[in-house]
Amino acid sequence: MVRNYVQLLIVLAVAALLGACDNRKGRQIPVEDFFSSSEKVGFQLSPNGKYVSYLGLYNGQQNIYVISLDENNKETRITSETDMGIHSYFWADNDELIFTKDKYFDDSLRVFGVNRTSSAVRLLMQPSKVKLRWISPAKVQNNGLLVSLNERDSSVFDVYRLYTDACKKELVAENPGNIIKWYADQNGELRLALASDSVQETMLYRDSEREKFRPVLSNSFKTSINPLGFSREHKSHVFALSNVNRDKLALVEIDMKTGEEVREIYSHPDVDIDYGGYSSDRGEMSYALYSTWKQRRHYLTARSERVYRAIEQQLKGYEIDIIDRDTAHNRFIVHSYTDKDPGAVYYYDIVKDSLVKLADDNPALNGRTMAAMEPVKFHSRDGREIQGYLTMPTWHKGKKVPLIVYPHNGPGDRVKWEFNPEVQFFASRGYAVFQLNYRGSGGYGKAFWTAGFKEWGGKVQDDITDGVRWLIGEGIVDSARIGIYGSGFGGYSALHGACFNSDLYTCAASYAGFTNLFTYLKEFPPHLKPYLQMYYEIVGNPEREPDLIKEMSPVFYSDSIRIPVFIAQGGKDSWSTVNETNQFVQKLKKRQIPVTYMLREEEGRYFHNEETRIMFYRKLGQFFDKYLK
């Protein structure tokens, strides 16, 4: 009888174990649910607030749809593009929208206008292989709006006034060769420019387009002045983010006639103030935006605070961003999200206090259990504090789990608290995900940023290694099952880890990562040439410091790799040559190192085709499952 009881306990235990496995498999969310394209994107509001527009699918291509709020939300498709989808668009006025479309990343630029009521499409510019940058604020004044094009010279952008009532453009300012950014005022006049010799930056100003630009202030690129927009109250004043005579970017007001800072509006002791809060139609700052471990706002107008507080009352627990508004600031397009919810887009009317959902960012994940993104910090080997985030699988229950280290791209970007489909994809499959803001990341002041200069293969990688060893020491992760993955700089970091830390990592995966920094610095696109000397200061000069560049390039250390590697690259990636990647892969295969290589000849740096993108993540998931589980 005792034997039967013991057998029953064993059967129940096995059944419970199998049940747990089944439950875990039940949480295995399909790859497509994370990475399929959204059906409705790019929501915008007409200036009068009566119409909501978005990009939706029609015959497999993105087209513009308009919802009439005053006509019982009547919805109309106003474009019928079937050969090429619409790439970007905006409202020119209450009846006209301007859009661009292209098929491939290096395809000819096409610019059109479309009437909301008649759906009549007009060509605004002859198709050509040029790059276009809209000059903010993108608004039509007297049937014209400002654009910058590298039509005359592929390495510089001149400014034109593009007329919406005719297929013609007019030169407004010719780039002498050193202007890297142009700025217009609220009336659509070109009055500010940023010049650079790649190391020294100079702000140029003029009172009107009838005058010539004149230099007003200069500084090293390490010291930033980033204009947000002109003040309506003082014609020559601009609001800007500046770290002149300070470490962190602060929100300030500058008189461009003199180049003097008039006042500091807001600063934070620990982090930079971020872009956001400027109202181009009102010429004022409504709030200062910054991110500690979460995004925060310091309100500068009572009305702005009232709007955000009212929306927060209806979307409790969610981060919110106002992504568009009418000119009266009564109607808004709002995006909400958390770390565990990709979020949704809403229309909000403050007069009626009415919030209406327009679309979920990713309805396939509705009701799915996602993992929490928690802040962490540690000290690197030289004592510097490094902050980051750790996302644990929801069912880990204190057990040591396999880890995927996920260095961010940039490297001057930073990780923020948000919903990241890659992170949740890995966490749903049982992996902890470690993201850290190593030295050289943006957002923490210029001392922290410049500490990463010429350390791409040195202290930046040490910070990543030290973070992993700190997690192991905390007893959080399984030290025998650690992978590293990233894209761009993160992909480079993964390959660097495979070369120099094969004892720490079990496997490494690189998506569009650089293998050879000589090639990376040599293959600079023409329109980015003005930044080349700056990159030499950040990365290293291949002519003067060849040993440094070689020491940082994984291509020269493939013999040190002893772990399985996954490499994905587009055939038209201008930053890495396919030949070099092929040779790198062949060297590994010759040494019988397991390699998964995904080359898509038709793709650029990143995979834009949805089918290809899903295939990539499916293979990536299989790779980590094979070597970490």
Chain-centroid distance, C-alpha 489: 13
- pLDDT value, residue 114: 95
Take residue 328 and report the two structure tokens written for it.
């009266």
The band of 625, judged by pLDDT with boundaries at 50, 70 and 90, is very high
Neighbours of 245 (CB within 10 A): 8
Neighbours of 400 (CB within 10 A): 15
- pLDDT value, residue 105: 55
pTM score of the predicted model:
0.91
Query: What pLDDT, in 10s, does the model give residues 177-200?
Result: 999 999 999 999 999 999 998 889
Residue 99: pLDDT over 80? yes
Do the beta carbons of residue 348 and residue 325 sit within 8 Å?
Answer: no
Take residue 410 and report the two structure tokens written for it.
């940039």
In this structure, the chain runs to a length of 629
Within 8 A by CB and 6+ apart from 25, the residues are: none
* Calpha distance 479→505 (Å, rounded): 9
* Calpha distance 612→629 (Å, rounded): 25
**Domain residue spans in the chain?**
373-628
Q: What is the mean pLDDT of residues 599-612?
A: 87
The band of 395, judged by pLDDT with boundaries at 50, 70 and 90, is confident
Take residue 300 and report the two structure tokens written for it.
């500068």
Residue 430: pLDDT over 50? yes
The band of 85, judged by pLDDT with boundaries at 50, 70 and 90, is confident
Partnered with residue 242 across adjacent β-strands are 225, 250
Q: What is the mean pLDDT of residues 413-432?
A: 97
φ and ψ at residue 99, rounded to 5 degrees: -140, 160
* Calpha distance 347→601 (Å, rounded): 41
* Calpha distance 547→438 (Å, rounded): 24
Residue 23: pLDDT over 80? no
Per-residue DSSP letter, 341: -
- pLDDT value, residue 5: 36
* Calpha distance 504→521 (Å, rounded): 29
- pLDDT value, residue 106: 61
Take residue 340 and report the two structure tokens written for it.
């565990």
Question: For residue 285, what are the CA distances in angstroms to 228, 230, 318, 438, 485?
Answer: 9, 10, 23, 31, 39
Query: What pLDDT, in 10s, does the model give residues 322-352?
Result: 999 999 999 999 999 999 999 999 999 999 9
* Calpha distance 322→528 (Å, rounded): 31
Query: What pLDDT, in 10s, does the model give residues 449-459?
Result: 999 999 999 99
Query: What pLDDT, in 10s, does the model give residues 119-164?
Result: 999 999 888 888 899 998 887 888 889 999 999 998 899 999 999 8
> pLDDT averaged over the chain?
91
- pLDDT value, residue 198: 82
Chain-centroid distance, C-alpha 154: 25
Query: What pLDDT, in 10s, does the model give residues 237-253?
Result: 999 999 999 999 999 99
* Calpha distance 254→245 (Å, rounded): 14
* Calpha distance 7→4 (Å, rounded): 5
Fold of domain 373-628: Rossmann fold (3.40.50)
* Calpha distance 82→84 (Å, rounded): 6
Query: What pLDDT, in 10s, does the model give residues 197-237?
Result: 888 999 999 999 999 999 999 999 999 999 999 999 999 99
Long-range contacts of 16-25 (CB under 8 A, 24+ apart): 24/395, 24/430
Residue 419: pLDDT over 60? yes
The band of 275, judged by pLDDT with boundaries at 50, 70 and 90, is very high
* Calpha distance 314→312 (Å, rounded): 5
Q: What string of H, E and C letters represents the secondary structure of 391-421?
A: ECCCCCCCCCEEEEECCCCCCCCCCCCCCCH
Query: What pLDDT, in 10s, does the model give residues 434-444?
Result: 999 999 999 99
φ and ψ at residue 226, rounded to 5 degrees: -115, 100
* Calpha distance 509→620 (Å, rounded): 8
Per-residue DSSP letter, 527: G
Torsion on CA atoms 273, 279, 282, 287, rounded to nearest 10: -40
The band of 6, judged by pLDDT with boundaries at 50, 70 and 90, is very low
- pLDDT value, residue 594: 97
- pLDDT value, residue 603: 85
Which of left, alpha, beta for 568 (phi over 0: left; psi -120 to 50: alpha)?
beta
Question: For residue 114, what are the CA distances in angstroms to 95, 109, 145?
Answer: 8, 17, 15
Q: What is the mean pLDDT of residues 547-563?
A: 96
Q: Is 490 helix (H, G, I), strand (E, B) or coil?
A: helix
- pLDDT value, residue 601: 84
Residue 294: pLDDT over 50? yes
Take residue 216 and report the two structure tokens written for it.
């007003």
Neighbours of 118 (CB within 10 A): 9
> Rg of the Cα trace of the chain?
26
